[in-house]
Amino acid sequence: MTPVLSSTGLVLHNLGLAAGFGGSLFGKIALNPAVKVISSKEERGQVTNLAWNGYNIVNAISVGTSALTWLIGRWKLSGREIDDTTRGLVIAKDVLLGATVALGAANIASGIYLANQAPEGRVPAETGNMPTAETPENAAKTMKALDILGMINLVCMAGVIGVTALLNMKAGSSSKWALVTKFLP
């Protein structure tokens, strides 16, 4: 029998990662360049700011759920239950997930700050993350920082997803882990 609480936690963890990664990837490679078709540079900024800041709550809940479920699991298990390699993967996931949470918070705060640089978030933009010559200096710096932080955050989230897959494969092939799961809720 599969432990219901543990399985539910894993599903919520993976859904959180999927929503956080998928939304961020969509915004970065699809939304940001697509606003170029809007003729007004101020409207480009407004649309981008509305979209990103509207997704912030979904992203915060998604990544927050992933972090919370991971922390709950980490409270009980260290990875040593399987082997030293698994312990290393657990520590790598700790670091990557911590970076994802920190970068996500920084992106949210920076996005709010950027939107507040002009009435109704109408900060002039070439694309969602590229300033124009008319973009105020602070807003332009924030856009550039968001572009870099967003890319690093995507790489960290991809790393978390990859390490999670490796951990799942290790757990699935471990007789030690099979014994441990008999005692999980």
Q: Structure pTM?
A: 0.86
Residue type, 143: M
Tens-place pLDDT, residues 20-66: 999 999 999 999 999 999 999 999 999 999 999 999 999 999 999 99
Measured distance CA(60)–CA(182) in Å, rounded = 33
What confidence tier does 86 reach under pLDDT thresholds 50, 70, 90? confident
In whole numbers, what is the pLDDT of the chain averaged over residues?
Answer: 89
What confidence tier does 78 reach under pLDDT thresholds 50, 70, 90? low
Ranges 52-66, 67-81, 135-149: which has the least confidence: 67-81
Residue 77 has pLDDT above 60, yes or no: yes
Number of CB atoms found within 10 A of residue 71's CB:
11
Cβ–Cβ under 8 Å, residues 128 and 2: no
pLDDT (0 to 100) of residue 87: 85
pLDDT (0 to 100) of residue 145: 96
pLDDT (0 to 100) of residue 1: 39
Measured distance CA(112)–CA(135) in Å, rounded = 16
Could you tell me the maximum CA-CA distance found in the chain, to the nearest angstrom?
63
